[in-house]
Every structure is written in C-alpha cells, then in structure tokens.
Amino acid sequence: MSLPDDAPDLLTIADVAGRTGLEESLLRFYESEYSDRLPAKVLHGDTLFFTAEAPAAFREVHRVHAAAPGGRPAIPRYGRVIAVTSGKGGVGKSNLALNLGIALQRLGKMCVVVDGDLGLANIHLLAGLASGPGVLELLERGRPVAEIVAPGPEGIGIISGGSGILALADSDPGQRLRLVRALAEVERAAEVVLVDTGAGMGRGVRDLLRAADELLFVLTPDLTSLADAYGLLKGLLQESPAIRHRPVYSVVNMADTLQQAAGVALRFDECARRFLDRGVENIGYVLRDATVGAATARRTPYTVFRPEARVSKHTHNLAVALLRQELPELAISSAFGRYLKMLQGSTP
Ligand SMILES: Nc1ncnc2c1ncn2[C@@H]1O[C@H](COP(=O)(O)OP(=O)(O)OP(=O)(O)O)[C@@H](O)[C@H]1O
Ligand SMILES: [Mg+2]
C-alpha cells in the first residue's frame, strides 16, 4: 500500500506510524479498541486510508490510554503461531519445522518449535537433544513454563513432547488445558511459534489447526500428498469458517526440479480455488537432497550440518518468504487463546 500521488492528504498506516512515533501494531490495537475516538478512514481506489487528522487523534488516544486508571494496561502482543501440517505423513514436516525455525532465528526472530509429532524422527532427535521429561510431565511437576522450552540449536527453543503432545493431549482434557495454557505463555514470549503437527489428525491436532494464525501445508510431488492435503483443508474449512480468512501457504518438499515443485503448488492452489473458493499461496520449495538424510544420521539439523547446501538455502528462502508475509494484526490476537476457548466449549 503506497500513498497515492494525487491524494497527498491521505495517509497509510506506515505514514501515521512515522508521524506519531507509534508502532503499527499499536496503531492497529488502538483502531480496534478506540474506533469511536478516531476519524473514519476514507476509500481511495480500493484501499482505505487515514485522513490528515489521524496522527493527532492517535496521539490523543495514546495519551488517554497511557493515563487510564490503574496504569496503562499491558498491550498483549503475541508471536505468530504457524502450524506446519500435511494430509499425508512422511513429507518432511519435522525436518522443515526445525530447520525453518533455525533459519528464522538466524534472521533475528525468536523462534520456538513445538513438537506435536508421533513419528520416530521427532524434533528433539533431529536437533540432537538428549531426551528429557516430556512437556506434560514437566507441567505436572509444576515446573515454570520457561523450563518446558529446551534450548535448541542456534538459540531456538524446542518444546518436545516425547511421544506426541498433541495426540497425547487428545486423550485427557485436563492435560490438554494445562498444555495450551503453557503454550499461550510461550506465544507471548516468542516471535514465531512453529508447531509440527505430526501425522495424526486427532481432535487435538485439528483444533490446533483451526486456532493457528497461519497454516503451512507441506506437499510433495507424490499424488496422494496433494489429495490428502486438499482433503484436510476442505475438512478444516467445513469445521471452521474462520479459517477462510487466515493465511494458508504451501511449500513443496522433495521435488526433483523446480518445475515439478511449481506444478505441485499450482495444482493445490487451483483445486482450492476451484472447489473451496480460496487460494493457497505458495511460499517456496525445498528440493530433494541427500543432505537431509546425512544430517539426520548425525542428529544435526541440516541447516547446521551444511549451511551452504542447496536444501539449507531453500529453507532460508522459505524463512524470508514467511517474514515477508508478516501481518501486524496477528500480533494482537492469540492463537492459543482461541484454542483455549475451543477447549472450553465455544467455537471461534
Ligand atoms: N528435502 C528432502 N530431501 C531428502 N529427504 C528428505 C527431505 N525432506 C525430508 N526428507 C526425508 O523424508 C523423511 C520424512 O521426513 P520427516 O520425518 O521430516 O517427515 P514428517 O512429515 O515429519 O513425517 P511424519 O508424518 O512421520 O511425522 C525422512 O527420512 C527425511 O530424511
Ligand atoms: Mg514428523
């Protein structure tokens, strides 16, 4: 969104931020909380802009908000919760979630990877961490939330479930509640939370997918991967219309060529547009590379084992593409808060 040349009095949110010195996410928060005290936006072309009075009005709202009785209420800010998922198992979710986390961390984002996987190659093994007590065990022992996040490679945090926390939590509502409360706390501290949803599609995983800020579908050139991903997205949209408004991306893994990867992503997007009435934006690809297997054998993430390898570069590109998609309004809503509401019986 840029300032139209012929309308110098119209301001973008970046302009208002520049003139007031207030962050864009804070301006969006004020917009939602104090809409009655702010001037209406005006339509120019097909975009809404702020008017010239907006900076002064925002400054006033900021002053009033800061002087609110009881002190300035903390403005909630949450990290992006991105669920890494697939219809079919074995497509590379765990490897991608871990290495994408490392790539994001290298780009300066504080990243926590949550292992919801039941598979054998789970995150702590791929990351070379010793197996310790699982997250539920720690929560049961009353450990503070900070302790459930294990320090992982290159500064990322890892929450490992031991045996698939989301699936495990499926069985016991009390544990699920405890877990989601802890995850909500993590969401406050991290900038990006990547959840490897594992291959299981139980209630816990589906609820989490419905609550996540963004969904990242991992596809492979295998035909069943596409069909299963489509089936999963269709089911999710039927269960929760709110997903229609959330970003859904695809990444193609284990393709042999770029053309093949592009073809897979295109087919998924086309099917979704045609039959589900929504698009799925492709944010990149990771080609098949023997480095992944070699890194796993050494219990080292491939981006650490061989940062210069093709697969590591592709993963870095993915991280960059994800950061380009950052939506300021996501910072003021809590994905695990939504999840909690679902657990307590109200559907978002
Ligand atoms: N880009 C790649 N090139 C080559 N091999 C890959 C690539 N990505 C993943 N693999 C291999 O594919 C297999 C599955 O990977 P991974 O365990 O990450 O998938 P997953 O989707 O998490 O599986 P599950 O559904 O069982 O949890 C592993 O053997 C891994 O080494
Ligand atoms: Mg896995």
Cβ of 133 less than 6 Å from ligand 1: no
Residue 2 domain-assigned (yes or no): no
Asked if 37 and 92 sit in the same domain, the reply is: no
Q: What is the predicted pLDDT for the residue at 307?
A: 97
Q: Which of 96, 219, 258, 292 has most ligand 1 atoms within 8 Å of its beta carbon, as the pocket-test mutant?
A: 292
Q: What's at 82, amino acid-wise?
A: I
On whether both 50 and 25 belong to a single domain, the answer is: yes
Q: Is residue 194 part of a domain?
A: yes
Residue 294 lies in a domain: yes
Strand pairing report for 47-49 and 42-44: antiparallel
Query: Which strands sit side by side in the sheet containing 80-85, from one edge to the other?
Result: 150-151, 157-159, 111-115, 192-196, 80-85, 214-219, 248-255, 281-287
Q: Which of 93-97, 213-217, 311-315, 333-337 has the lowest mean pLDDT?
A: 333-337
For residue 51, give its domain range: 13-66
User: What was the pLDDT predicted at 259?
Assistant: 96
**Mean pLDDT for the chain overall:** 86
Question: How far is ligand 1, taken at its centre, from the CA of residue 296, in Å?
Answer: 10
Q: How far is CA 303 from CA 16, 157, 206, 266, in A?
A: 39, 16, 29, 27
Render pLDDT for 98-125 as a digit per residue (tens, 0 to 9): 999 999 999 999 999 998 765 555 888 8
Is 253 a pocket residue for ligand 1 (Cβ < 6 Å)?
yes
Residue 150 pairs with which residues in a beta bridge? 158
Contact 313, 112 (CB under 8 A): no
Question: Same domain, yes or no, for 160 and 231?
Answer: yes
Whether 191 lines ligand 1, by a CB cut-off of 6 Å, is: no
pLDDT in tens, 61-88: 888 877 776 655 555 678 999 999 999 8
Label the pairing between strands 248-255 and 111-115: unpaired
Same domain assignment for residues 168 and 297: yes
Return the pLDDT at 63.
Answer: 84
- Atom number, ligand 1, closest to the C-alpha of residue 88: 25
Contact 68, 30 (CB under 8 A): no
Same-domain check for residues 192 and 267: yes
The yes-or-no verdict on residue 158 having pLDDT over 70 is: yes
Instruction: For residues 232 and 113, state if they share a domain.
Output: yes
**Domain CATH code at residue 214:** 3.40.50.300
Q: Is a pLDDT exceeding 80 seen at residue 303?
A: yes
Shared-domain flag, residues 45 and 145: no
Q: What is the DSSP string of 289-303?
A: -HHHHHHHHTTS-HH
**Nearest 5°: phi and psi at 218?**
-95, 125
The answer to whether residues 20 and 46 belong to one domain is yes
> Half-sphere exposure of 294 toward its Cβ, with a 13 Å CA cutoff?
11
**Ligand number nearest to the C-alpha of 220:** 1
Please list the residues that pair with 43 across neighbouring strands. Answer: 48
Global pTM reads 0.79
Could you identify the atom of ligand 1 that is nearest to the CA of residue 118? 27
Q: Say yes or no: 123 and 247 in one domain.
A: yes
Q: Is the CB of 91 under 6 A from ligand 1?
A: yes
Give the 3-state secondary structure of 8-49: CCCECHHHHHHHHCCCHHHHHHHHHHCHHHCCCCEEECCEEE
Q: Is residue 263 situated within a structural domain?
A: yes
The SS3 of residue 209 is helix
177 pLDDT tier (thresholds 50, 70, 90): confident
Same domain, yes or no: 227 and 320: yes
Residue nearest to atom 23 of ligand 1 (CA): 90
Mean pLDDT of 224-243: 92
How far does residue 99's CA lie from ligand 2's centre (Å)?
13
226 HSE (CA, 13 A, CB side):
17
Residue 337 within a domain: yes
Question: Within a domain: residue 73?
Answer: no
212 Cβ contact partners less than 8 Å away, ≥ 6 residues apart: 81, 82, 83, 195, 246, 335
What is the distance in A from the centroid of ligand 2 to the CA of 284?
19
In a domain, 75, yes or no: no
The answer on 57 and 180 residing in a single domain is: no
Tell whether 46 is covered by a domain.
Answer: yes
Question: How many distinct helices (H) and strands (E) make up the chain?
Answer: 16, 10
What is the C-alpha separation between 156 and 23, in angstroms, rounded?
A: 26
Count of domains observed in the chain: 2
Q: Are residues 195 and 236 in the same domain?
A: yes
**Nearest protein CA to atom 29 of ligand 1, as residue:** 293
Q: Which helix (H) or strand (E) holds 62?
A: helix 54-66
Q: Note the pLDDT of residue 37.
A: 85
Which atom of ligand 1 lies nearest, measured to the CA of 288? 3
Out of 44, 66, 88, a domain closes at 66
Domain final position from 21, 39, 66: 66
